[in-house]
Amino acid sequence: MNRRAFLRTLTGGLLAAPLAAEAQQPGKVWRVGYLGNGLPTQSAHMRDAFRQGLRELGWVEGLNVSIEYRWADGHLERLPALAVELLKTPVDLSLVAGGAGVRAARQASRTMPIVSAITGDPVTAGFAASLARPGGNVTGISAQFEDLAGKQLQILTEMMPKTARVVILHHSSPPNLVILEAAVRAARTLGLKGQVVNVRDAQDLAGAFRTAQSEQADAMYVLPSPTFSRHRAYLAQLAVKHRLPGIYEDGGYVRAGGLISYGPDFGDLYRRAASYVDRIFKGAKPGDLPFEQPIKFDLVINLKTAKALVLTIPPSLLQRADQVIE
C-alpha cells in the first residue's frame, strides 16, 4: 500500500471511529421521540407493543433508552410543531406513523433517523427512493394501504353481493390522494359506483352519512385517517342509525362498534418497528434498511352490529375471520 492510500485508509478509519463509538457507547441512554397522531388512550396497545419490542431487543426504559411522547390527538395539523418540539428535546430518532407524521418529521430534520411504524407507499409519497434501498433518513414499515383497497372492497361485496353504490369516506385535511385514487380505481374494477364524500373534521361526519343516505348508498368504505379513528365509536353509531354497513382498515373500529375490518395488526407493526430502532442505535443507516411490509392481515367482524343493521354475515366470511365479536 502506498503512502497516499495508507493516509486515506487511516483518515477514513479515524472519521468512522467516533460514529462506531457513539453507536456502541456503554452507559449511553438513547432518546426516542414518539410522535403519535391519535389519542394516547386509543393508541395504548401500539405504544405498549413498541415498548415490548424494544425490551425483547434489550432496550429498557430508564436504563439504556428513554421515550419522549407527543400526541396530535387526531389533529394532523399539530404534527409539524410537535415534530420540531421533539427535535429540540433533543432526541436521537423519531418514531412516527402515517404519511402526515413522516412528512412532519422530515420537515423538522432531513438528517435525524425517522422510523415509520405505519405508512402507505413511501416511494409514491416521495419518502424513499425504493422499498429495498430507501436512501435518505426514513425507513420502517409500509402498510401499503393503496394495495389493500381492492381486497377490502371485495370483502364488502362478498358480505353484500347486491352492493352497487359505495360511499368512500375520505378525510380531506390533509388529503391522502394516493389512497383515495386507489380506492376509486378498485371500486370501478369491481363494477361499483364509488362516490367520494370529503370530511374535514368530526362536525362533517353526520352530514356525510346523510349524503350517503340521500344517494341511496349500499355501504361505506372508510379510508385510513387518525381523525376517523379518534371518532370511531361515533362513526359506528352513525352507521347503525343510517343502516349503512361499513368496512375499515383496523379492528379497533370494529371493537368500537363498527361492522367489519380487514388490515394489518397495527400493534404488531409497532413491535416490528422496534427492530429498526435497535439496528439504527447499533450503527445502521436508515437509508440502507429496506422497508418491510405486513405479512398478516386480520379480518374482524362484529355480529352484534350486523344484527343491528339487520344483516346476515355469510358463513364463508365468518369462517375466515380472525376475530368475531358477539
**pLDDT given at position 68:** 97
Task: Tell me how far apart the alpha carbons of residues 144 and 289 are, in angstroms, rounded to a whole number.
Answer: 17
Percent of the chain whose pLDDT exceeds 90: 77
Q: Are 104 and 260 in contact (CB under 8 A)?
A: no
Q: Which residue has the cell 426514513?
A: 138
Same domain, 149 and 138: no
Kindly state whether residue 8 falls inside one of the protein's structural domains.
no
- 152 plus 252 within the same structural domain: yes
CA angle in degrees (0–180, nearest 5) for 74-76-79: 115
Burial class (CB in 10 A: 0-12, 13-18, 19+), 101: buried
Cell numbers 388512550: residue: 41
Residue that wins the pLDDT comparison between 247 and 175: 247
pLDDT band at 227 (very low <50, low <70, confident <90, very high): confident
Please compute, for residue 218, the number of CA atoms within 13 A of its CA located in the half-sphere on the CB side: 16
Same domain membership, residue 313 and residue 183:
yes
Q: How confident is the model at residue 60 (pLDDT cuts 50, 70, 90)?
A: very high
Q: Is the pLDDT of residue 17 over 70?
A: no
Q: Are residues 64 and 190 in the same domain?
A: no
Does residue 212 form part of some domain? yes
Who has greater pLDDT, 200 or 169? 169
> Average per-residue pLDDT in the chain?
90
Per DSSP, the three-state class of 179 is helix
Q: Please, which residues have CB within 8 angstroms of residue 217's CB and are 6 or more apart in sequence? A: 165, 166, 167, 195, 244
Q: What is the structure's pLDDT at 124? A: 86
What's 65's domain CATH number?
Answer: 3.40.50.2300
| 200 assigned to some structural domain | yes
pLDDT in tens, 278-288: 999 999 999 99
The pLDDT tens digits of the residues spanning 113-172 come to 999 999 888 998 899 999 999 999 999 999 878 889 999 999 999 999 999 999 999 988
CB atoms within 10 A of CB 89: 12
Contact call for residues 202 and 39 (beta carbons, < 8 A) = no
Same domain for 280 and 316, yes or no, is no
Domain assignment present for residue 61? The answer is yes
Name the CA radius of gyration of the chain, rounded. 22
Q: What is the model's pLDDT at position 19? A: 40
- Give a yes or no: residue 88 inside a domain: yes
What's the confidence (pLDDT) of residue 143? Answer: 86
Angle in degrees, CA 85, 90, 93, rounded to 5: 95
Nearest to 317 by CA among 190, 154, 155: 155
Are 275 and 197 within one domain?
A: no
Same domain, 310 and 250: yes
The answer to whether residue 96 is domain-embedded is yes
pLDDT for residue 145: 84
Do 195 and 277 have their domain in common?
no
| CA distances (Å), origin 249, targets 77, 114, 153 | 22, 24, 11
Q: Are 112 and 213 in a shared domain? A: no
* pLDDT at residue 26, rounded to an integer: 61
Q: Is the same domain home to 182 and 251?
A: yes
Q: Let me know if residue 116 belongs to a domain.
A: yes
For the whole model, what pTM was predicted?
Answer: 0.85
pLDDT tens-place string over residues 2-15: 434 433 443 444 44
- Residue 23, pLDDT > 70, answer no
Same domain for 182 and 223?
A: yes
8 A C-beta contact, residue 254 and residue 261: yes
281 occurs within a structural domain: yes
Q: Which domain holds residue 85?
A: 25-144+266-295
Provide the pLDDT for residue 25: 59
Q: Given this model, what pLDDT does residue 175 score?
A: 65
Give me the number of domains the chain comprises.
Answer: 2
Could you report the per-residue pLDDT of 186-196, keeping only the tens digit for each?
999 999 999 99
Strands (E), the chain: 30-36, 65-71, 93-97, 114-118, 138-140, 165-171, 193-199, 219-222, 246-248, 260-264, 297-302, 323-325
Question: Residues 62-115: pLDDT tens digits?
Answer: 999 999 999 999 888 999 999 999 999 999 999 999 888 999 999 999 999 999
Residues 289 and 320 in one domain: no
